[in-house]
A and B are shown apart, each in its own frame.
Chain A
Amino acid sequence: MSDRPCVATTSLAGCFGCHMSFLDIDERIVELAEAIHLDRTPLTDIKQLHHCRIGLIEGGVGSEENLQVLQEFRARCEIVVAVGACAINGGIPALRNHFELRDCLREVYLEGMGVDDPQIPDDPELPRPLPRLRPIHELVKVDYSLPGCPPPAEAIWKLLQDLLAGREPVIPSELLRYD
């Protein structure tokens, strides 16, 4: 491993849209790859999280596995950033908080339109859903937030540049969006 700063990313209860936006930095990914070491992230498929300077979290916490991953990121990353609407306020997945979990499962797997062979999945390998989806700041300390659904690539780039340079991240107003 090099002495370059380590960056890890993960998608909890998100859609990977924030990761897609991250990739929209286009060829600057080469510049970034030369400046950092990518640890656990869907981009490398590394599963083991090491000590990192920065952890970018997409998505809220909807399952026991989400919670475990989030706590691991908090324990091993010096700076944790909530990236995107879902990490910050639950976003679209939090719409399920309008209903009881059992009613959601019943609708999707038992009684919904077009359900064939109705059964609620109970394979032990499947992460157990939590009763309510929660934004990550309710469960761990979050150092910075970057809103957007997804945040624009330029905003993600700016945030990383600021953090890697040891500056307080400042998001220019034209890149601040909640949708």
Chain B
Amino acid sequence: MNDQAFTIDDHPVPFRRGESIMEAALLAGIYIPHLCFHPLLEPHGSCRLCTVEVNGKPLPACTTPAAAGLEVTNDTEALNQQRRTLLQLLFAEGNHCCPSCEKSGHCELQAMGYWLKMLDSPFPYLFPRRALDASHPAVLLDRDRCIFCERCVRASRELDGKEVFALAGRGLNTRLIVNSPSGRLGDSDLEASDHAARICPTGALLVRGEGFRTPIGKRPFDGKSLSETCLQRAAALLKEGKESER
């Protein structure tokens, strides 16, 4: 029953018990920017891009349960400026070189930059040196592009029933590690058909041989904005999920 509602930027949003602000918003066709959230996965609350103001208090929309009467503020210049800063930090912290990346046009990090109208990053670029893992015949792991959202970690555990990935270290030493005797992807039980291999929002995990199947200029974010694509995807997946729960 959709008998309860809260508001996002003064629009009434219905919700079902147990839904997060993010889920209810996406089902209602309201976009809240996000990178670590994925409709098929348990929320992680780490990228902080989905931070909204709930009754005046900043909270991540993906981990905050919807509740009747909440007043949520989402699409304001102040919140989008904070999101832009978070994104600029992500770009400066990794090695995100769009011109040489085959994920360009498919990449949610890049599309988020377009959506937030990010022109540059004012921070010093760290140019970290991270190990590339090309040992798997079907999947490439380019840690330069990892933003530590743990989508692959969660997908492997929750959807694939494996535990191929984890994060190790802290702060600037955080890195994506692989669960195999050698620590190499080629020795893990990851398969190209796994959700984990395909759920990366950036070009950190790439299924080989598919990168240029869609030509540049015709890729999802070449024509459509991130919000449009995310809303369609989320609505489809979340509705499917709700149906199957009944």
Give Cα A132 to B120, complex, Å: 19
Q: Given A89-B120, A147-B120, A176-B114: A135 and B97 within 8 A (CB)? A: no
Is A11 positioned at the interface, with any CB of B under 8 Å from its CB?
Answer: no
Checking B97, B119, B124 against A92 with a beta-carbon cut-off of 8 angstroms, the contacting residue is: B97
A57 to chain B minimum Cβ distance, whole angstroms, is 12
Tell whether, in the assembled complex, residue B99 and residue A91 are in contact, meaning their CB atoms are under 8 Å apart: yes
A152 at the B interface (CB under 8 A)? no
CB within 8 Å for A92 and B125 given contacts A82-B120, A178-B113: no
Number of B residues contacting the other chain (C-beta, 8 Å)? 24
User: How far apart are the CA atoms of A173 and B113 in the complex, in Å?
Assistant: 11
A-B contact count (CB 8 A): 69
Residues of A within 8 A of B225 (CB): 173
Using an 8 Å CB-CB cutoff, how does the interface string of B94-108 with A read, 1 for contact, 0 for none?
Answer: 011111110011000
What CA separation (Å) do A178 and B124 show in the bound complex?
18
Q: A88-B120, A137-B120, A173-B117 are in contact. Are A95 and B125 (CB under 8 A)?
A: no
Q: Is B216 an interface residue (CB 8 A)?
A: yes
- B110-139, CB under 8 A of A: which get 1 and which 0? 100110010111101101010000000000
The closest CB in chain A to the CB of B119 belongs to A145
Chain B residues within an 8 Å CB radius of A144: 119
A97 touches B119 (CB 8 A): no
A85 & B99 in contact (Cβ 8 Å cutoff)? yes
In the bound complex, do residue A94 and residue B97 qualify as a contact, i.e. CB atoms below 8 Å apart?
A: yes
| A127 CB, min distance to chain B CBs, angstroms | 21
Complex CA distance for A132 and B98, rounded to whole angstroms:
20
- Taken residue by residue from 15 to 51, chain B's Cβ proximity to chain A (1 for < 8 Å, 0 otherwise) reads as 0000000000000000000000000000000000000
Complex interface: chain B residues within 8 A of A62 (CB): none
A171 within 8 A of B: yes
Bitwise interface map of A from 123 to 141 toward B, beta carbon under 8 Å scored 1, else 0: 0000000001011011000
Which residues does chain B contribute within 8 Å of A178, judged by CB atoms? 98-99, 104, 110, 113-114
Interface of A: prevailing SS: mixed
Residue from B101, B120, B124 in contact with A145 in the complex, judged by beta carbons closer than 8 Å: B120
B98 touches A97 (CB 8 A): no
A to B CB contacts below 8 Å, 20 in the list: A88-B119, A89-B91, A89-B97, A91-B99, A92-B100, A94-B97, A94-B125, A98-B95, A98-B129, A137-B120, A146-B119, A147-B120, A173-B117, A173-B225, A176-B114, A176-B119, A177-B114, A178-B110, A179-B98, A179-B101
Enumerate chain B interface residues (CB-CB to A < 8 A): 91, 95-101, 104-105, 110, 113-114, 117, 119-122, 124-125, 127, 129, 216, 225
Q: Which 8 residue pairs are nearest across A and B when measured between Cβ atoms?
A: A145-B120, A149-B99, A178-B98, A97-B127, A179-B98, A179-B104, A145-B119, A88-B120
